[in-house]
Structure 1
């Protein structure tokens, strides 16, 4: 397999998938670029080959992302990526690497994704592509695109699972101390991240407590006491900062985790118990409410 690098490449876009494939059995990795010295956005200088190895249809070509506004590939590199796909090979991108696949003509008529900050731009630049919002990765006819930064690990684990089976992918994830192999249609931003763009220290402290123990019964009186405010003040501050009450926030975390478990084969009943619901009725109501909404 080959990683194709451009100046200002993001280290984690490259290192995450490289670690997965380096841990999995049977992968020989090569790193190519148009110049032998490749500066990363994080300041580390990388060395790459300027000559591509011989590839077969079994090989994978991966394009890691780069700092927006900096990276680029010359036409011969793009043609080489396109030729590999035309010969039956698979290509993948992480984050802004999807732009290279678009320039190579590989996104037209296909579903794809990228980092949430770049999705609208990708859709404008490649109107013949179908850009899926808020998913981790998308696979369409041997063209696999993923969202930002750490989602490259999810993409790589997915590809390992396809080739070697889910047990091998799970073992790789365990060795890498990755919490769980996420599905492609998992959201790019979890509820823990979506409701953190506020400046209330009180609410952040309460969110920390809920995030750490959302499967447990959490009384409003306990949360308010931990934050040093009254229940009424906490509810007012929490709602103003996040748009929902502490209880609703906890339920959202439970629902999100339950959906992940169900997506990985758990029954609704087992998922409900795992996230702290007494039975599956509340989980079913929350899921139905989400679908209606």
Structure 2
């Protein structure tokens, strides 16, 4: 069971909280073992939208596989953000130091900055306060005009709805792109938003187009990336020729063929598995490569 702890600050935006919470809750509905908790310094937390929230005062025991998310709040400046006690900041520091992941949605990056977790790392926030974030934390590398960034288990996203993109990316890296695609479809969220080059998810990076035929083919590949998916089968599923599908796909995705897109999905998932202790040979088999040498070649070439 992985804990997803939302650290609630007075005046938070409901969608900053509800978007990621819905993603992980839906993932749990599909069999991924997540338990969501809501923690604050007071039992009742006011929100910007006027709906008070109930929270627990003590966080659950957390391990390296768990996640703390800080939803953003309304504030004209980051400097005028609500005060947060030392215990909350220490919770963020300790969890990260023990191998856990921390995330900030929108202004939530400010709390990560106060905890010292942005120093030397890439981060982002809402476009209205990007310059201020860079000024307040000069040791951080603020990336502008992207949906989210990840750097050494510190994850940040831009404003409001981008928290959904952030959560889908975490689902994709933990459980594979098929799981993220299934969650997105259930939420009636089309994974088509592009956060710019620093965004690392192959599934989302190649979705910033408007070709429905290609999106449907990508849905198939996202769900079955670890299975053989010959071009003829993909083309037949859409009722087009192989040549037409290749032309449409490469034009929509900026040069990727269906095979290269599938390889990027496999490589991304394999890198996650390897980073968590799986051998290269085992990772290759898990993502669908019959010969581990193919995975080694793709890693050496840096295919994305």
- The TM-score with structure 2 as length reference comes to 0.63
**Residue 167 (structure 2) aligned to one of 143, 153, 156:** 156
Hey, what does 2:233 align to over in structure 1? none
Is the CA contact (8 Å cut-off) linking 1:134 and 1:187 kept in structure 2? Answer: no
Hey, what does 2:269 align to over in structure 1? none
Q: Secondary structure at the match of 1:21?
A: helix
- The TM-score with structure 1 as length reference comes to 0.65
Is the CA contact (8 Å cut-off) linking 1:154 and 1:181 kept in structure 2? Answer: no
Q: Deviations over 1:78-107 (max 9, x none)?
A: 011111000000000100000000000000
**Whole-angstrom distance in 2 between the partners of 1:58 and 1:109:** 23
**Aligned residue runs from structure 1 range 186-201, under 5 A:** none
Q: Deviations over 1:252-284 (max 9, x none)?
A: xxxx6279x79x79x983247669xxxxxxxxx
Q: Secondary structure at the match of 1:93?
A: strand
Hey, what does 2:154 align to over in structure 1? 143
Hey, what does 2:119 align to over in structure 1? 108
| CA root-mean-square deviation | 2.8
**Residue 248 (structure 2) aligned to one of 242, 262, 270:** 270
Deviation of 1:179 after TM superposition, in Å, equals: 1.8
Hey, what does 1:14 align to over in structure 2? 17
The alignment of Structure 1 onto Structure 2 pairs a total of residues equal to 208
Hey, what does 1:283 align to over in structure 2? none
**Whole-angstrom distance in 1 between the partners of 2:91 and 2:81:** 21
Is the CA contact (8 Å cut-off) linking 1:4 and 1:32 kept in structure 2? Answer: yes
> Any stretches of 5+ residues in structure 1 without a counterpart?
189-255, 276-293
**Aligned residue runs from structure 1 range 1-293, under 5 A:** 1-24=4-27, 25-68=32-75, 69-185=80-196, 257=209, 269-271=247-249
Deviation of 1:19 after TM superposition, in Å, equals: 0.1
Deviation of 1:182 after TM superposition, in Å, equals: 3.2
Q: Deviations over 1:107-157 (max 9, x none)?
A: 000000001111001000000000000000000000000000000000000
Is the CA contact (8 Å cut-off) linking 2:11 and 2:74 kept in structure 1? Answer: yes
Runs of 4+ in 1 over 2 A off after TM superposition: 69-72, 181-188, 256-259, 271-275
